[in-house]
Structure formats: structure tokens, C-alpha cells
Amino acid sequence: MMSLACRSGALTPQLKATNVAVSGTLKALTPGIFNTSENVKKALNSKTRPSCVTGCAGVRFAHTDIKIPDFSDYRRPDVMDPNKSSQDSSESRRVFSYVLTGSTAVVGVYAAKTVVTQFITSMSASADVLALSQIEIKLADIPEGKNVTFKWRGKPLFVRHRTEKEVAAELAVDLSQLRDPEHDNDRVQNPSWVIVLGVCTHLGCVPIANAGDYGGYYCPCHGSHYDASGRIRKGPAPLNLEVPYYQFPDEDTVVVG
């Protein structure tokens, strides 16, 4: 009983046919052929004796049938010539790319910051509200002893031009007798001008000027008496009238707020 090779001698390979299903790296393959008609003609013109044809394997002879497209439209002039080394121009190409990318990044970051800031600041107070936040008062129009009321930030603002007598009286008040002890100098910048919010600290009514037992203000709602400095003297209110922030840009004007 002898082997097939031995039995059939020289024509043994022709008595069987082999096809490779998955080509391993050890088998020699004839170049695979694909569906286009030129390639079939090319294979048929080759004089090699067929031994086996590839199956669906990962072998593909890229140098014969895959055409690499022409990318010259997209190439930089430095690398247009395939025969020239690209190392010479590599640094300049790299620098250009990096500078371009870097500057784009910087500009991009700045733009992003601007956009974000604009969106966030849109949530803050609008201009008309900000405009209402300050009030400028001409002091020359207010005579001595008179209390003028202005509307400021939705609340009444009392501006009182105090007489010398009132100033002296306020300075002489004993702090230990006050419910909310505060010296007059702490409440006014210029002693002849008292600027306070006209909101009673008890329950928010507006006190009446030049009324009450202490020569200041009297709140009619519950009977709180304030003095000429706006300090509480008698009545249910717990605190003195609030003093807002103000400044005198010059002799004749005061800016409150």
C-alpha cells in the first residue's frame, strides 16, 4: 500500500486540486486575482504554473492592483517631489503648523472667554436699574431746618438741613440713654446735613418730619419718636434710621448711593 505520490509519479499534483481557505504564513501563494477583467487577463498571461489560488485570506499584493490616489492638490510645495527627502523641510513645516495651531487656540480661548462673560454678565443688573441706584441732590435748594424727601431706590430719603441749635442738642445727648447708642458724629459726615432713609425701623412706615417729642421725626403708625439725628428715642422701633452711603463731590451737591 503506497502513498499517492509514489503511486502516481510525476503527474501526482494533477490528480488532485488544492484550495487554500485561510492562508497561513507558511504557504507560498500565487498572487490573488480580483474581479476586474484587466487583472484576470494579467494573471492568465503569467507563465507560472498554478499551484493553488488564494481563498479569502488577508493576503493582498498592494503593489499590483491598489492604486494610490494623486494627492498633489493637497501637498505643500516642500513635499511635492517624491524623490526628495522630506526631512529637510520637516522642521519648517512643523513650526508653521504649530504656530498656526497655537495662535488659533489663543484666539479661540479669548473668544470663548468673551462669549461666556457676556452671557454671565447679562444676568447682572441692567442699566436702568443701575441708573436708579444713585441720586444727586442740590443742597442749595434746601433751607435750614427743612427736611426734603426724595425717592431713592424705591424708598423715601430724608435730607435735613439742621440748624446750629439742633446740632448742639444732638451732640449733647447721653449715649447710655439711647436704645441704639450711636454718636451723632458717627451718623453724619457734615453735621449740618442729616441724610437718612425715611423708613421706620419698627414696621416700615414713613415717619413725619419735624414732628414728635424730640424735634426730629415721628412715626404715626405705632408712635416711634426719632430725634434730629434720626436716632430712636421713644416708641417701639428698635434701631435708628438707616444712614445710606453718601458723599459730597463739592460744597453744593451730595451723591447718595
Partner 1 sequence: MKGIRPLNHLSRRCYVAARRSSLTEPLSVNPRNAPSKPVFQPQDIQVSKLPSGLLIASLENYSPVSKIGVFVKAGSRYETPDNVGLTHVLRLAANLTTKGASAFRICRGVEAVGGSLCVTSSREHMVYSAECLRDNLDTVSEFLFHVIAGPEFRPWEVSDLTTRVKIDKAMASQCPQIGVVEKLHEAAYKNALSNSLYCPDYRVGNVSSDQLLSFVENNYTSGRMAVVGLGVKHSVLKQMGEQYLSIGRGAGVPGAKAVYRGGELRMQSSDGLVHALVASEAAVTGSADANAFTVLQRVLGAGPHVKRGANISSKLSQGIAKATTEPFDATAFSSTYSDSGLFGIYTVSQFDAAGEVIRAALAQVTAVADGGLSAEDLDRAKNQMKAESLMSLEASEGLLEEVGAQLLASGAYSSPEAVLQSIDSITSSDVVNAAKKFVSGKKTMASSGHLVNTPFVDEL
For partner 1, the binding residues (CB under 8 A) are: 1-11, 14-27, 30, 33, 35, 40, 43-44, 49-50, 52-53, 55-58
Q: How many C-beta atoms lie closer than 10 Å to residue 112's C-beta?
A: 10
Query: Smallest distance from the beta carbon of 29 to partner 1, in angstroms?
Result: 10
148: three-class secondary structure by DSSP: strand
In terms of CB distance, is 55 or 102 closer to partner 1?
55
Cell of 89: 523641510
CA atoms within 13 A on the CB side of 104: 6
Query: Smallest distance from the beta carbon of 15 to partner 1, in angstroms?
Result: 6
In terms of CB distance, is 21 or 120 closer to partner 1?
21
Q: Which of 161, 202, 222, 225 is catalytic?
A: 222
In terms of CB distance, is 30 or 89 closer to partner 1?
30
Q: Are 235 and 214 in contact (CB under 8 A)?
A: no
Distance, in Å, from the CA atom of 232 to the CA atom of 100, rounded to the nearest integer, reads 70
In terms of CB distance, is 25 or 85 closer to partner 1?
25
Burial class of 227 by CB neighbour count within 10 A (0 to 12, 13 to 18, 19+): buried
Which residues are CB-neighbours of 2 under 8 A, at least 6 positions away?
Answer: none
Nearest alpha carbon to residue 247 among 182, 193, 166, 183: 193
Distance, in Å, from the CA atom of 161 to the CA atom of 183, rounded to the nearest integer, reads 18
Decide if 202 is catalytic.
no
Q: Which residues are identified as catalytic?
A: 222
